[in-house]
Amino acid sequence: MSRNYSLKTLGNDVLSITTYGNDAIETRNCLIYIHGFKGFKDWGFGPYLGKYFSENNFFVITFNFSHNGIGCNSSEFTEFEKFAGNTYSLELEELNQVIKAYKNNFFGEISESNKIGLIGHSRGGGIALLTAGSNKDVDAVTTWSSIAKFDRFTKRQKKEWKEKGFLEILNARTKQIMKLGLPLLNDIEENIDGKLNLSESLKNLKKPLLFVQGEQDLAVTMKEAENLYKWSDKNYSTFISIPKAGHTFDITHPFTGSNDKFDRVLKETREFFINNFS
């Protein structure tokens, strides 16, 4: 059974949250799913993973970042102005606020011994890794098709971005033209060598990590996954590649069911957290 919440952030925005497994929240370890760029909690495998992990004795939190472009319509982009104003730093802040809400019993009374694991997909993987490096309450992280760099734009794109005040991108699924505003570019230029530096963060991260990557991912290449693993402490990290799998492990939206590739991703992720939470 799932429950829906609205969490007001320190920036006076609202996070739309769905949880799974509330009936046993006190005794269950917590998994938080972090969606990626042009993603949202109800995309494709989102509700399915919530049900799957709750049926495997975890309490699961899925949520939308406040500026991901999703508003009252839970499955279509309508908040384009907010989407244009989103930044990586804002997503880091909001994930930390979700973690704090859980620790402060916002979703129900929990045990002090409950552990927290993060599951980040694509850009959400990068956000999860940076958060784990700075938040003592995070115990372990799994990334699915995670980015290894936050600066993903060419010099030509940045020049155009600064001249126009925005950069247009196509949402391939919906065919919508969406804009990235200057706040994101400014965030990159100000913080890419500091708090947004994944290589430096991973070198100092002494927590269990599982990197899962599809071998045929065209959005985030195998090279990025290999870099994440290379930068990590091998005493704590594991790398798994999924043969013939794409960026979303061949799951589509609307969700039409799982498959052997995604079933393996779920199984490996479940076993990773069970082994590292015991």
Domain annotation covers residue 70: yes
Residue 1, pLDDT score: 87
Contacts of 17 (CB under 8 A, 6+ apart): 4, 5, 6, 7, 41, 61, 62, 63, 64, 98
Q: Is residue 105 part of a domain?
A: yes
Give the per-residue pLDDT at 194: 97
Q: Is there a domain that residue 28 lies in?
A: yes
pTM of the model: 0.98
List the one residue out of 207, 225, 239 whose CA is nearest residue 149: 225
**Is 165 inside any structural domain?**
no
Q: Tens digit of pLDDT for each residue in 244-254?
A: 999 999 999 99
CA–CA dist 24, 53 (Å, integer): 13
Residue 57 and residue 53: Cα distance in Å, rounded? Answer: 7
- Cβ atoms 58, 30 nearer than 8 A: yes
Number of domains in the chain: 1
Helix axis angle, 88-103 relative to 123-134, nearest 10°?
A: 60
pLDDT, position 278: 87
In a domain, 244, yes or no: yes
What's the N-to-C CA distance of the chain in angstroms?
25
Instruction: Specify if 188 maps to a domain.
Output: no
**Which residue range forms the structural domain that includes residue 246?**
2-79+87-151+193-277
Please tell me the predicted confidence (pLDDT) of residue 210. 99
Q: CATH number for the domain including 205? A: 3.40.50.1820
As a whole number of angstroms, the distance between CA 57 and CA 25 comes to: 9
Query: Is residue 97, in this structure, part of any structural domain at all?
Result: yes
Cis peptide bond N-terminal to 243, omega within 30: no
Residue 178 lies in a domain: no
pLDDT at residue 255 in the model:
97
pLDDT of the chain, 278 residues: tens digit per residue: 899 999 999 999 999 999 999 999 999 999 999 999 999 999 999 999 999 999 999 999 999 999 999 999 999 999 999 999 999 999 999 999 999 999 999 999 999 999 999 999 999 999 999 999 999 999 999 999 999 999 999 999 999 999 999 999 999 899 999 999 999 999 999 999 999 999 999 999 999 999 999 999 999 999 999 999 999 999 999 999 999 999 999 999 999 999 999 999 999 999 999 999 98
